[in-house]
Structure formats: C-alpha cells, structure tokens
C-alpha cells in the first residue's frame, strides 16, 4: 500500500504526472479539483454551492473537500495505494486527512512537491485554459489569485509533512518524462 500526496502550485503538472504514476505503480488517483468539477457539471446541490468559488479561484470550504475525500478513502482503503492530487490544501485538511486514514489503519507515505516558478505556472495554465475551457483557467487575474492563495494557505502544508519526515521536492521543469523519472526515483528511494 503506497499513499502519495502529489503537491505543488496550480499548473505545476500534478494531474499529468498522477496519470503516469497511477499506471506505473498500479495504484489509484483522486483529484479533488476533478471531483469538484464533476459535481459542477452534473449540477448537484454540492456542485452548485461550489461553482462561484471555483470560478473566482478561491479554495472551497475545508469541510466540503474533507467529506469528499472521506468518501473516497472509505471506498478505496483496501486497494494497492493512492495518489492524492490537490488534497490536502490547508492545515485543517491535512489534520483531518491523518485522522481519517488512521481510522482505517492507513497513513500518508510521502508528499512529493513539484517545484515550478510562477511565470512558468501562469504560462502553462493559460495554455491549458485554451484547450480545457476551465472557468478558472481563463483569466490571468484568476490564475494569479490561485497562485497567491496557494502561497498563503497551501504552501505551509509542505512543512506539515516535512516535520513527519515525509517530504521530498522534485524539480518540475523539463520534459514530462524527465520529471516523471525524477518522481519515480524519489518514491522508490523512499520505499527502500
Ligand atoms: P489546480 O491545481 O490547477 O489549482 P485543481 O483541479 O487541483 O487545479 O483545483 C481546482 C480548484 O478546485 C481550486 O482552485 C480550488 O478552488 C478547488 N479545490 C480543489 N481541491 C481543493 C481542496 N483540497 N481544498 C479547497 N479547494 C479545492
């Protein structure tokens, strides 16, 4: 059982690398951003309550995402392992995550931080926005706000895992395959 938190600013490439890691290790992948977008697409009550917040580039309330991840963990706790992408994004989320995993006899093994400079993040998200049509990828103002929110509320979550000796940073610049190799090396190094 391998539980990896894939971490980094918006646009750092978490989703791309998560798909490759999923295949490589034969584990599952959950992206809280994707779950939220699917709720919005299906126009559920939960989706309606989060739509405005997402379009403005704010974080949705902790309890909503904690409940989403709780549901996922209870369904997947007997699988080979999981990649958590976009969660936890605040300290209360990280604390709730430890507690919910502990309740089913699991733990986070490692947080992998993908390091990418701000200008590159903005460039990547603008490019992605042209293809994806994601509301939060369309304007530079919203993108910069998301990066700012990341700095103010999310970056501290790295310290939370570093204190537990579960943190590794990887250079997120370069070719997709190159970055993937760096991540695999970091995970395999940790496992030994
Ligand atoms: P990105 O990494 O590009 O920001 P995501 O798909 O991870 O994209 O997230 C998109 C949006 O979903 C975020 O800007 C935020 O509004 C919301 N979101 C996703 N995960 C969380 C979370 N753990 N806590 C609060 N909001 C979240």
Summarised one tens digit per residue, pLDDT across range 130-150 is 998 888 998 999 999 999 999
Tokens 């990828």, located at residue? 137
Mutation to probe ligand 1, out of 30, 57, 59 (largest number of atoms < 8 A from CB):
59
Cβ neighbours, 10 Å, residue 60: 19
Question: How far apart are the CA of 59 and the centre of ligand 1, in A?
Answer: 6
> Which residue's CA is the nearest one to ligand 1's atom 18?
33
Q: Please give the number of the atom of ligand 1 that sits closest to the Cα of 137.
A: 3
Model confidence at 52, in pLDDT bands (50, 70, 90)? very high
**Of 123, 146, 150, residue with least CA distance to 7:** 150
**Of 11, 59, 9, residue with least CA distance to 36:** 59
Q: Please tell me whether the overall predicted TM-score, pTM, comes out greater than 0.85 for this model.
A: yes
Q: Please give the number of the atom of ligand 1 that sits closest to the Cα of 37.
A: 12
The answer to whether residue 74 scores a pLDDT higher than 70 is: yes
The answer to whether residue 12 scores a pLDDT higher than 70 is: yes
Span 79-105, average pLDDT = 96
Span 89-109, average pLDDT = 97
Question: How far apart are the CA of 182 and the centre of ligand 1, in A?
Answer: 24
Taking only the tens place, the pLDDT of each residue in 150-186 is 999 999 999 999 999 999 999 999 999 999 999 999 9
End-to-end CA distance of the chain: 14
Model confidence at 76, in pLDDT bands (50, 70, 90)? confident
Distance CA 4, CA 15 (A): 13
Cβ neighbours, 10 Å, residue 66: 21
CB within 6 Å of ligand 1 — which residues? Answer: 10-11, 14, 31-33, 36, 54, 57-60, 65, 86-87, 89, 93, 136, 146
Question: How far apart are the CA of 188 and the centre of ligand 1, in A?
Answer: 27
The answer to whether residue 192 scores a pLDDT higher than 70 is: no
């Amino acid at each position: 059982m391998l539980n990896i938190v894939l971490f980094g600013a918006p646009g750092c490439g978490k989703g791309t690398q998560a798909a490759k890691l999923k295949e490589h290790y034969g584990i599952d992948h959950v992206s809280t951003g994707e779950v939220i977008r699917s709720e919005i697409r299906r126009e559920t009550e939960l989706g309606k309550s989060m739509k405005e917040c997402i379009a403005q580039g704010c974080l949705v309330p902790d309890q909503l995402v904690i409940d989403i991840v709780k549901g996922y963990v209870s369904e997947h706790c007997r699988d080979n392992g999981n990649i958590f992408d976009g969660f936890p994004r605040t300290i209360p989320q990280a604390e709730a995550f430890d507690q919910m995993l502990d309740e089913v006899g699991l733990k986070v093994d490692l947080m992998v931080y993908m390091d990418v400079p701000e200008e590159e993040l903005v460039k990547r998200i603008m490019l992605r926005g042209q293809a994806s049509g994601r509301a939060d990828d369309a304007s530079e103002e919203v993108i910069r706000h998301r990066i700012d929110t990341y700095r103010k509320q999310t970056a501290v979550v790295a310290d939370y895992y570093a204190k537990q000796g579960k943190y590794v940073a990887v250079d997120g610049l370069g070719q997709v395959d190159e970055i993937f190799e760096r991540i695999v090396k970091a995970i395999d190094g940790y496992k030994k």
